[in-house]
Each structure stands twice: as C-alpha cells, then as structure tokens.
Amino acid sequence: MVQLVEADIRTREVLDWKGLHVFHYPLSSCSQKLRIFLNLKDLDWRSHPIDIVANAHLTPYYLGINPRGLVPAIVEDGVVHIESNDIILHLEREHPEPRLVPADRREEVAAMLRHENDLHLDLRTLTFRFLFDPAHPTKSRQDLDRYAADAGTVQGARDGDVEREVLFWSSYLENGVSDEQARASAARLRDALDGVDTALATSNHVLGDHLSIVDVAWLVYVERLTYAGYPIGDLHPHVAAWRYRLLEQSAIARELELPEALRGMVADRQRALAAADRTLAAVCFPGVNTASVAH
C-alpha cells in the first residue's frame, strides 16, 4: 500500500482535512476505476477534479499532495494514499460491504490487479495513438523539465515512477507512437483479454457469479479500447456481452461516458483514421474482420 509519510506532503493544508477527499480526472482510467468502486460502495466523498490536460497535476499544489503527479489520490482524515489499486484495496478493507473482493481470494485479486496495472502503459500507448491527435500534445519539454525538478519524495525517497512518466512523454513528444509500439501494446492487451474472455465463457463475471473489482478494472480498459477502435466484439465475444451487461448499471456507466465536449473530437479522430486506413484494427489486427466492432 502506498501511503505517504508526512514528510512527503508539501501541501500541508490537507493534513487537517476530515473525511474522504478524492483527486481525479474524468477521462483518467484509474480515476474511473476508483469512482466506480466508490459508487458501488455508496461511500461519501468530496470531489477535487484535477485537469490533467491543462497540466494541473504538475502544479506545486498537486505535486505537494501526490509527488508522482498522477491521479487519483485520496486524502482520508489527513492521510494521503496514492495509486488506484492500493487505494481500492485499502478502502475495501475499511468498508467490506458490499464486498468487491472475495474474502477467500484477496491475494489472487491483488495479483490480478497488478497484472492489469502492468498493462497501463500499453493502454496509454493505444490511447495516444488512436484516440487523441498526436499533433496536439498536452505537454511540452518545459513541462517535463519542471515535473522532473518539482516532484518530491514517496515514503521518504526519490521515486522512480516520475522517471518512467518523463520517459514516456519524452518519447511521445519526440517520436509519437510507432506502428511497432502500437502492435506490441495491442498484442499484450489482446493476450490479457483472451484470458478474461475465457473466464467469461463460463460465468457472468471474471471471478464467478458476483461482481468484483476485477470486473471494474477490466471494464475500464475495455471501454477505453472500444473508443480507440479496438475490435472487442470480433476478438473477445464474451467480453463484449459482459460489457453490455455491466453498462446497464448506472453506477458504472456514468463514470465511463465521454464528456460532451470530447465526443465530437473522438468521432472526428476515428473518421480521420478510417479515411487513411490507419485505425487501430487496421494497424494492429489487419487480418481481423472488424464488421462487428462495438461502440
């Protein structure tokens, strides 16, 4: 669990906050996962939106709360926790009902969430290649230099995750996302979703009959990939059916809807890629019949 020590926290006002405060961004996949968890638990929390497109996550204020500059983060009665899966497992222990982690499968669920988290950069790679326009990056070299200089400590030590973030963005600014990188990321995600599809072939949820945080984690990925043009229905038919079932729940669906302001942008991006025959399916899965791609 990534719980910050007091010396890590430079925005000192949060040490006096009471209740549960959540820093998040609407389109952040990790934020979506946490918000769905909070909805399903029916927990009371105060919202603190952080506009990562405007680089609000790189300001001294927010880096003083989360030295990694990532969302989500929570402040719970003056204690700061970062990293979405750690936050979720922490809150599950504090608020076990309704149960989203089976009591007899906690270690298995933790391992599955680590696997999902290990694929986060692959999800980001496909997002930045096929969902957003690389001609308009949201960060500059100066932003990254400031980020690297201003990031603080995590549990008293300089944190390697900041270097990973700077490396990703530096590569993106200099080279974009190549076909080779996109195909490698798509292959890893396809392999993981094949496993999810196999599990769903014989049950309504990934771990059996009951909804768990593992379903939420994978649904967030599936929804993002669907917007980016990944052919879910063709490659993973059981996942596609499961997705539709879960989206019937308002507590889940409302956190995954694209904001009105972004719908046109995403539609325009997909039309432009289709006109150039450079969609995700065309680049990463050229042999797949994509007539039944889900939207």
The predicted-structure confidence for 10-29, as pLDDT tens digits, reads as follows 999 999 999 999 999 999 99
SS3 of residue 267 by DSSP: helix
Structural domains for the chain: 1-98+136-176 (3.40.30.10), 106-134+177-284 (1.20.1050.10)
Q: Return the half-sphere exposure (C-beta side, CA atoms, 13 A cut-off) of residue 31.
A: 21
pLDDT at 106 over 50: yes
Other CB atoms within a 10 A radius of the CB of residue 282 amount to: 15
What is the predicted pLDDT for the residue at 295?
Answer: 43
Query: Angle at the Cα of 115 (from 289 to 86), degrees rounded to 5?
Result: 130
SS3 of residue 142 by DSSP: helix
pLDDT at 290 over 90: no
pLDDT at 195 over 60: yes
Confidence of residue 292 (pLDDT cuts 50, 70, 90): very low
On whether the CB atoms of residues 22 and 34 are closer than 8 A, the answer is yes
Write the pLDDT tens digit of every residue in 237-255: 999 999 999 999 999 999 9
What is the predicted pLDDT for the residue at 158?
Answer: 85
Least confident interval from 100-109, 164-173, 261-270: 261-270
Confidence of residue 157 (pLDDT cuts 50, 70, 90): confident
Confidence of residue 1 (pLDDT cuts 50, 70, 90): low
pLDDT at 65 over 50: yes
Confidence of residue 289 (pLDDT cuts 50, 70, 90): low
Under 8 Å CB-to-CB from 35, ≥6 apart: which residues? 22, 24, 255
User: What DSSP line would sit under 45-108, residue for residue?
Assistant: -EEEE--TTTTGGGSHHHHTT-TT--S-EEEETTEEEESHHHHHHHHHHH--SS-SS-GGGHHH
pLDDT at 293 over 80: no
Query: Angle at the Cα of 73 (from 71 to 76), degrees rounded to 5?
Result: 165
Least confident interval from 92-96, 149-153, 175-179, 238-242: 149-153
Sheet containing strand 20-24, edge to edge, reads: 46-49, 20-24, 73-76, 79-82
Burial of 68 (0-12, 13-18, 19+ CB in 10 A): buried
Confidence of residue 228 (pLDDT cuts 50, 70, 90): very high
Could you tell me what percent of the chain has a pLDDT over 90? 89
Write the pLDDT tens digit of every residue in 111-150: 999 999 999 999 999 999 999 888 889 999 999 999 999 9
In angstroms, the CA 156 to CA 14 distance is 18
Residue 205: strand pairing partners: 208
pLDDT at 211 over 90: yes
Other CB atoms within a 10 A radius of the CB of residue 278 amount to: 15
What is the predicted pLDDT for the residue at 294?
Answer: 42
How much is the average pLDDT of 208-230? Answer: 97
